[in-house]
A and B are shown apart, each in its own frame.
Chain A
């Protein structure tokens, strides 16, 4: 077997969604995203199966599997676990080699990662104390405003007079939403304010390590065009989003799996 024929799987089980990627050399053969739901282990199995079924492969045919994400340790079929911080760094490095800063906003936490030209971590900051600055914050706000989570980003871009949101604590912000609606503010303006407040939180966290060009935005929340714009406005720099930002962690896991197998084969 040569290293070019290796089949590698990366699986990223997050708080909100589970993602899987199958990689061969530099080519993504297949990828899928599913909601995590109740069981982390089951979600991992389902998303892996779906990803493999599409290309008519089985788990046994994978040469190495790396799990990442908040549920990484519950992925029973993985050969190894690596944190999502390292995986996002590697994934972004393959898709956008010029990237030096990764902003990853997921369902449960957000991270700003400084990376080098090889996709290694140089520094990172992570918000994990509360829901402020995470996808969960947006979910709660969308629910309060009776809006679809998929639409809130675009709606926020239509806000002409963004509301000032003072609270980035999810619980307090929820009551602030109610007060703003009672004041007759439009949904668009409130959403514009929410996106701006959240971008502000992420910018404060990231300022501790700096936003070196290029800045790449990953994770489920990167699909939200309003958040991309709010981030750009806050940090005063262009923010790039890969085509499928949700699978970057799983892709990075597969890349690390590939590199590890390569290293093992060349040393033996």
Chain B
């Protein structure tokens, strides 16, 4: 027996036995999301056009996202407890909670709006109705609300996502996420745990920080631990936190292998394809940790073979650029970067996380404070300067000729640092930096054709420089 979704799932590296075994779950999910035969047909053609389907690793990565989709959409029906965390997650908090759930029953822990971006957006191109619902039900357009939050709000309203038992707000990075969480708490009554912090720091301060910040952020993290214990009986301690690292260990190892191949010339993998794996550790804690890691391992191997044969997705000696950040929903845009002749030799500018030092007082800190201190050193939750310095470090690794910074529409945390980054990278490293007005979660907010002109011109400029040099 075959069904209307078999072709898509087979393309996404499901084997037939798996499809047979999962038919009930697959059909329940697609029915809930209103995805029918016509959507599957469109998805097949979109996926074939947008991704490097010759690579099994790419096909498997797409399949992992679909499995993550089934898992979150059906989590409540399958009797799981649900904990959602915001994006970007704080210090891989989802994995830590996951590590604590062993023998505590069945949990879904993840960032479901990211899962929806990578599936309803990337694969099906059907996010607009969700965004519109989110706008209509409290997060109106023009109110400086990030589209990722509109997706979460819209998906809860439409019943695409189950109501969680707890949500962890992104107050350590962004003030809009927590505001949106407050609205959703009002509407759905689920508890929200805020991890407040303060991104205000002086330019040039990082990696130094005010110890009071660690104390404050740490106490918020400890509050979260207390809530997890009160609500779910979950115990978070040093051992659990260390175990969390092992959950993602295989994934990080494989990502490192892939990164090592990507720095080859010609660059062997396109942006649409490498984007597929960036958010495994950022949005997921479940199947992506094993099957996602397997997909990345396969991809690293396949890409390694390309490097040996000298095969690239752009010609040798093409200008090399690093990108912050890729679109989570629009493979057509991601693919355009290669189409205009730009090579991207690094999966993501902030992946994987760097080893961080420890302060003299580290051993005297509470567990929450220790994590807070790590967050300070890791830069992204310290300040614009911290984030920019981290990005600068990845540029060294990738040996690039320029940088592209996609500015997220309606994002307050990224509003100033796009300009700061351009000034800093151009002055300190002499690398031309292109700023693009993008939206990683909502393609209604930009015109791909207009972005193409900028990208092409940037590519022409870098090529002329390389020729002159």
Contact = CB atoms under 8 A, between A and B. Distances in A.
A128 B460 contact: no
Interface residues of A, number: 17
B457 interface: yes
B456 interface: yes
B359 interface: no
Interface string A115-133: 0001011111010110000
A85 B450 contact: no
A208 B434 CA distance: 12
Given A120-B468, A121-B464, A86 B450 contact: no
B317 interface: no
Contact of A120 (B447, B449, B465): B465
Interface string A59-75: 00000000000100000
B42 interface: no
Nearest to B433: A123
B15 interface: no
A124 B456 CA distance: 12
A32 B457 CA distance: 25
Contacts of A126: 453-454, 457
B432 interface: yes
Chain A CB count within 10 A is highest, among B437, B446, B457, for B457
Interface string B428-469: 000010000100000000110111011011001100110010
B243 to A, nearest CB: 47
B437 A120 contact: no
A122 B468 CA distance: 12
A86 B461 contact: yes
A226 B460 CA distance: 33
A85 B465 contact: no
Nearest to B455: A83
Contact of A128 (B454, B456, B461, B464): B454
Contacts of B450: 109, 128-129
Contacts of B419: 208
Chain A CB count within 10 A is highest, among B449, B451, B461, for B461
A61 to B, nearest CB: 27
Contact of B457 (A70, A118, A124): A124
Nearest to B459: A83
A84 B446 CA distance: 20
A82 B456 CA distance: 8
A86 B460 contact: yes
Contacts of A124: 457, 461
B460 A121 contact: yes
Interface of A: 70, 82-86, 109, 118, 120-124, 126, 128-129, 208
Given A83-B457, A129-B450, 20 more contacts: A70-B453, A82-B456, A83-B460, A84-B453, A85-B457, A85-B460, A86-B457, A86-B460, A109-B450, A109-B453, A118-B468, A120-B461, A120-B464, A120-B465, A121-B464, A122-B461, A124-B457, A128-B451, A128-B453, A129-B437
9 contacts: A83-B460, A84-B453, A85-B453, A85-B460, A86-B457, A86-B461, A124-B461, A128-B437, A208-B419
